[in-house]
Amino acid sequence: MEIHHDRHHQAYVTNLNNFAKDNPQIAEKPITDVLANLGSVPETIRTGVRNNMGGHANHTMFWQIM
């Protein structure tokens, strides 16, 4: 679990922080709002945001229910 938390989940967070540096509107909204309105995310980063934000949300829920 330590590897999963410290590497996999951390990679999602790190990648999202990198996307948010150039697109602060991503960091200003709740995860659920961004994922529900992916069309508002610039197309050039949309797939990366979707994959990393989805991975972060799923892992966060996983840690909470463990």
What CATH number is attached to the domain comprising 26?
1.10.287.990
pLDDT at position 20: 93
pLDDT at position 53: 92
Which range of residues forms the domain containing residue 35?
A: 2-65
- Extract the tokens encoding 34: 């961004």
Number of domains composing the chain = 1
**pLDDT < 50: residue spans in the chain:** none
Give the pTM.
0.84
Q: Where are the alpha helices (DSSP H) in the chain?
A: 2-3, 10-22, 24-28, 31-36, 43-65
| CA 6 – CA 42 distance, rounded (Å) | 29
| 43-53 confidence digits (pLDDT tens) | 999 999 999 99
